[in-house]
Amino acid sequence: MQRIIFPVTLSDPMNDRVQTVGDTEPAAEAESLPERLEMVTRVARRLFRAPIAEISVLSKGALRVVAAEGTPASALGTELAFDREVLRHAGPLVVPDLASDPRFATHPWVVGGPRLRFYAGTILALDGRPAGVLGVADREPNALTEGDLLLLRDLGRLAETEVRAALLGRARDTLASQGEQLKRQALFDPRTRLWNRHAMFELIDREFYRSRRERDPVAMIIVEVDRFEGLEARHGHGEGESVIGEVARRLRDVVRRSDIVGRSQGAQFLIFLARCNLENAAKLAERMRHGTRKVPIYVGGESVPITITAGVAATETGGEWLPDQLVKSAEAALASARESGGDAVAVRTL
């Protein structure tokens, strides 16, 4: 059975003659049920010597065919009036001759291909509530014995097990996805989509072991938006965050893809540069500074010139370093650049 995402089409003209009872079904998402449901339809088809067997599952108030043997290909994803009547009947339903039953006599599958005459269906339940229908159909009038009806119910229980397993698997996948999303949220700054300070230090720790093994130089740039507190006081926190987002974009425009960029706190950014010496790191910091001040940023409808100050620290090739030492050296360089009045770059060798 192929896995499908159901279209929003109901090809059964009998639908509007049947009152829905699907508003109370379990929260069944039917678009990814296991292929073993097709096994149930194959068994049902052989046991009852019927050319057609199908399983429908309630999804958002509609019965969607999710597994079928012997039905037109267009049946997958649609709702069948026969199955809906099983729910309305609130129990097993046997129709010996569809052509003689006013509920189905004019149904396209009765008057046209596949020219059905017999139908039997049983409810699939989860936690005591209707969740779907297992049905079999024939092109000849028929009737089920008591033993046949019990067998149909037993097959329905097997289908219920598969549906339950699918829903549990889907819930597990959803929880895993939500967990991954929460994990990502915990590592990223929501405004800039850059790494946050916690994630930055984890990444720097990893680079520490790599660079120590390969004896490469590394550098750290700490960037701070000048006079940001005053700007935020005048224009509000929301506008201040917009400025941070634009500065982050301009910083990303000049760094290498291999560089690690994060928002440390407030208006401060960390940029870690692997395989980079002090000279090249200082040049990059200057490009950041000129790229930021080159074009004013509109804040509250007002064109505001934005400048940044940067502190750069780097190790020498083969030099020993620790992550905390690198950050503290860059912070010291930043403090030195601030003392010169801002809109400046200061450097320091570890």
Task: Note whether 32 and 176 are same-domain residues.
Answer: yes
Comparing C-alpha atoms, which of 1, 90, 93 is closest to residue 40?
1
- SS3 readout for 103-124: CCCCCHHHHCCCCCCEEEEEEE
Looking at the structure, tell me whether residues 152 and 213 fall in a common domain.
no
For residue 79, give the 3-state DSSP assignment: coil
CATH of the domain at 59: 3.30.450.40
- Beta pairing partners, 282: none
Domain membership flag for residue 127: yes
Domain co-membership, 224 together with 337: yes
Range of the domain at 225: 195-349
Domain count, the chain: 2
Least Cα distance to 71 among 62, 61, 82 occurs for 82
Task: Provide the 8-state DSSP code for 257.
Answer: T
Residues 121 and 229 in one domain: no
- Asked whether residue 324 is assigned to any structural domain, the reply reads yes
Instruction: Please give the pLDDT value at position 34.
Output: 54
Position 138 scores a pLDDT of: 94
Q: What pLDDT, on the 0 to 100 scale, is given for residue 29?
A: 44
Query: Is residue 291 one of the residues assigned to a domain?
Result: yes
Instruction: Decide if 5 is inside a domain.
Output: no
Residue 185's pLDDT is 58
163 and 215, same domain (yes or no): no
Which residues touch 66 (CB under 8 Å, ≥6 apart)?
Answer: 1, 4, 30, 33, 37, 55, 56, 57, 76, 132
* 159 domain residue, yes or no: yes
* Domain edge (last residue) among 122, 151, 180: 180
Q: Examine residue 30 and state whether it is found in any structural domain, yes or no.
A: yes
Determine contact, residues 269/189, Cβ cutoff 8 Å. Answer: no
Same domain (yes/no): 156, 259: no
- Only one residue has tokens 């192929």, namely 2
Last residue of a domain, one of 180, 206, 238: 180
Are residue 231 and residue 305 in the same domain, yes or no? yes
What is the gyration radius of the CA atoms in the chain, in angstroms?
34
- List per-residue pLDDT tens for the chain, 350 residues long: 333 333 332 333 333 333 333 333 443 444 445 577 888 898 899 889 899 999 998 888 888 898 898 887 788 889 999 999 999 988 899 999 999 999 999 999 999 888 999 999 999 998 888 989 999 999 999 988 888 888 999 998 888 887 777 666 666 666 666 666 655 556 788 888 888 888 888 888 888 888 878 888 999 999 999 999 999 888 898 899 999 999 999 999 999 888 999 998 889 999 999 999 999 999 999 999 999 998 889 887 888 899 999 999 998 876 678 888 999 999 999 999 999 899 999 999 88
281: which residues sit within 8 A by CB, 6+ positions away? 219, 220, 221, 273, 312, 314, 347
pLDDT at residue number 302: 84
On whether the CB atoms of residues 66 and 133 are closer than 8 A, the answer is no
Residue 94 lies in a domain: yes
Residue 302 domain-assigned? yes
